[in-house]
Structure 1
């Protein structure tokens, strides 16, 4: 029996959805795509960004090491 109340994590996002997931602006996302740091795929006219590519980009960012006074 299928439980429809369970949400399935998306395998890919559109640009606006990716921005929401990453909490960044659309301009920054397109800059990262242009710099080839976030790969995209096309399905017709639709731009798709794989969820694992978003996670890889996020994991590649430097961590913030805060000094405790």
Structure 2
């Protein structure tokens, strides 16, 4: 099993926090400050978007995709 990178671990943490914040309900948007500021948070969000786990709107609002919600069943 491949070791997770720091960016991937942060992306999974963000997904878990978003899932918890929304009660796991689909299409629930939340604001995530710091996305547009760069750094580790932005990298983690981009990774999650690239993998189909998150949607981003307006540069600061995030929403879990069905794939992101399903991912948590294996984490």
TM-score (norm 2): 0.31
> Whose helix fraction is larger, Structure 1's or Structure 2's?
2
TM-score (norm 1): 0.32
